[in-house]
């Protein structure tokens, strides 16, 4: 079930546009009453997810969009970031103990900043990453 407000953002796969989604998510979180430290978590998680979609999912192709859906729920902010899926999100997520040479540590970071996290393939064949940040935690 969708929340009372849903905001859709579509931007080209060019670095810098992740800041649009980050600022929008921060605004929604502030309107929902998130404390400042938790808003920073929202901003970091959204920026990282969008950067991954730009760089990896869409391979920096500015003609291919990244889609971000922000949904206000009664107890959480749900964010879904989707890309065209030229590269798949690996099913085995990396861990920092495995070394800093490894890619994919952004997903590890996101997973540790949010309360709910999942990812998969969209109906169109792209990737999606869904995260929920609860209003009453942290």
- What pLDDT, on a 0 to 100 scale, did the predictor assign at position 74? 85
> Cα–Cα distance between 127 and 100 in angstroms, integer?
24
**What average pLDDT does range 45-49 have in this prediction?**
97
Q: Which has more confidence, 124 or 136? A: 124
Q: Which residue has the tokens 């869904």?
A: 130
The class of domain 5-134 in CATH terms is: alpha beta
112: Cβ–Cβ under 8 A, 6 or more apart, which residues? none
Every domain of the chain and the residues it spans: 5-134
Residues β-bridged to residue 67: 10, 82
- What pLDDT, on a 0 to 100 scale, did the predictor assign at position 70? 98
pTM: predicted TM-score of the whole model, two decimal places: 0.88
Q: Which has more confidence, 47 or 93? A: 47
pLDDT band at 3 (very low <50, low <70, confident <90, very high): low
């Amino acid at each position: 079930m969708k929340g009372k407000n849903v905001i859709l953002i579509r931007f080209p796969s060019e670095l810098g546009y992740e800041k649009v989604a980050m600022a929008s998510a921060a605004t929604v979180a502030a309107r929902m009453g998130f404390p400042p430290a938790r808003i920073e978590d929202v901003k970091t998680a959204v920026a990282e997810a969008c950067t991954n979609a730009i760089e990896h999912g869409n391979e920096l192709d500015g003609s291919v969009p990244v889609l971000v859906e922000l949904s206000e729920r009664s107890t959480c902010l749900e964010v879904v970031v989707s890309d065209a899926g030229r590269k798949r999100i690996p099913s085995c997520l990396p861990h920092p103990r495995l070394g800093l040479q490894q890619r994919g540590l952004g997903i590890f970071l996101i997973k540790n900043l949010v309360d709910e996290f999942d990812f998969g393939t969209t109906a169109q064949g792209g990737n999606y990453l869904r995260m929920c940040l609860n209003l009453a935690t942290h």
